[in-house]
Structure formats: structure tokens, C-alpha cells
Amino acid sequence: GENVEQHPSTLSVQEGDSAVIKCTYSDSASNYFPWYKQELGKRPQLIIDIRSNVGEKKDQRIAVTLNKTAKHFSLHITETQPEDSAVYFCAAKITGGGNKLTFGTGTQLKVEL
Amino acid sequence: DAGVIQSPRHEVTEMGQEVTLRCKPISGHDYLFWYRQTMMRGLELLIYFNNNVPIDDSGMPEDRFSAKMPNASFSTLKIQPSEPRDSAVYFCASSYQGSGNTIYFGEGSWLTVV
């Protein structure tokens, strides 16, 4: 089955700096890659996603890039703010695998003042 | 829509007791997922249903766990008997094939087995 690895497990940045979180996946049949943000005590919520026919997608301060050849994708947050502090999860879905997502292990992002 | 609704939000139970977690997916969604979240293992998919039919239950840890979806608007996850290692947050989530795979999570059920 699909295996998703995520790095780093913790990330601390100064407010205003950029943050990058990286994920790799194992199954070349994966075609959908969402990112979820989970604040303490809350549910995971989708913040951005990308499909395998697109190399990059941007939404205000967040962007995701996908390298299908290398089987990795990354989340980029620019001009970080304290409210960006949360756990971020990447995930992957295999073509024909229903809507089943396999999640990475999460990155605890802390934005310091 | 109210989103995915789970109950109870918090439960503390004694080892050996039966626990039943409930979920109401978003109306019109045809996929329902049960995830378990712990510090050690992260987000694990336990089982998922499509049109009320279980598709993949390979993540269900053992026979103590069972899940049902009797209709499109209700699902249960049952643990019997419960053990302290079952303590975790259990998330129900749903999605619609036509929505481009976006999965929406409920608020979670925080289970503590003492």
C-alpha cells in the first residue's frame, strides 16, 4: 500500500520567515495530495491540495509543489504568522483507491514572535 | 450543512467496558472514514465505507473493534472490550466522489480508557 513520509517532525521559525514541509510517497499511482492543518484540540482541516497533473498551486501565503518523478511534494508558507502555529499533515491518494487517504506523520510548526 | 457530527465528544470509561462512537456524515457524501489519532502512531485509517458498504477494514486493530453503517446518514465504531491502549482521538470523516476527493473531518471523539 501507499506509504507517506513527512519531514521535519518539528519546525520552529521566526514570525515573517518562510516554512517548508516536505513529503515523499511510495506509490506512483497516487494522484491527489492534500495538506491539512490541525490546531490544538481541533479537527484536521484542508488548507490546500494538488493533483498529479499540476506542478504547483498557490493560495495567498501558502503554496504546494509536486515532483512526480521524484515522488515528493512540499508545502510552503511565506510570511509566517503566530496563527500558522499548528500541526500540518500531508496525505496521498492512489488512483482507483476510492477516496482513501494515507497521511504523513505530521509536522509541528511553531511560529515565534 | 452542519458538517460531520460525532458523539460523544469526550468519553472516559473503565477497562473492559463497551464503547460506542457515533457519526453522522455530511448529507450526500458517499464515503465515510474512521481514523484514530495518537501521539505515537499519528492518523491511522481504521476502516472506510462507500455507499454504506465496508471497503477496507485492514486498519482495524483487532477483533475488539467493529464498525457498521446501517444507512447513509449514520455509522458506529464499537470497541468491546475496551483497553487502556485504545485511548485516542477517533475521527469520523466523509467525502463525496464528485467533490474531487476532499475529505471533511468531524470534531473527533476523545476516548480515555482507565
**B4-53: per-residue pLDDT in tens?**
999 999 999 999 999 999 999 999 999 999 999 998 888 999 999 999 99
CB B86 within 8 A of CB B17: no
pLDDT tens, position by position, B70-99: 999 999 999 999 999 999 999 999 998 876
pLDDT at residue number A46: 95
pLDDT at B34: 97
Tell me the per-residue pLDDT of A72-92, one tens digit each, with 9 for 90 and over: 999 999 999 999 999 999 999
What are the chain A neighbours of B42 within 8 Å (beta carbons)? 89, 103-106
What are the residues facing B90 on neighbouring strands? B36, B109
A44 preceded by a cis bond (ω within 30 of 0): no
pLDDT at B1: 65
Give the mean model confidence (pLDDT) for residues B42-68.
93
Contacts of A102 in chain B (CB under 8 A): 45
Residues of B in contact with A101 (CB under 8 A): 33, 45, 101, 103
Q: What is the pLDDT of residue A29?
A: 87
In this structure, which amino acid lies at residue A76? Answer: H
Residue type, A73: F
User: Quick one: CA dihedral A18, A24, A28, A30, positive or negative?
Assistant: negative
Q: What is the pLDDT of residue A95?
A: 73
Contact assessment for residue A6 and residue A73, using Cβ atoms and an 8 Å cutoff: no
Quote the distance between the C-alpha of residue A82 and its chain's center: 18
B interface residues, A as partner, C-beta within 8 Å: 31, 33, 42-43, 45, 48, 50, 55-56, 91, 95, 97, 100-108
What is d(CA B62, CA B106) in angstroms, rounded to the nearest whole number? 24
The pLDDT averaged over each successive group of 10 residues in chain A (113 residues) is 92 97 93 95 95 89 95 97 97 79 94 94
The amino acid sitting at B77 is L
Cis (ω within 30 of 0) for the bond into A8?
yes
CA B75, B2, A101, B71 torsion-angle sign: positive
The residues pairing with A46 across neighbouring beta strands, listed in sequence order, are A36
Q: Tell me what the mean pLDDT of segment B48-62 comes to.
A: 92
Q: What is the pLDDT of residue A100?
A: 82
- Interface subset of A 72-91, CB within 8 angstroms of B: 89
Flag whether pLDDT at B112 surpasses 70: yes
Chain A residue at shortest CA distance from B4: A43
Nearest residue in chain A measured CA to CA from B41: A105
Q: What is the rounded distance in angstroms from the CA atom of residue A33 to the CA atom of residue A48? A: 9
Read off the pLDDT band of B100 (50, 70, 90). low
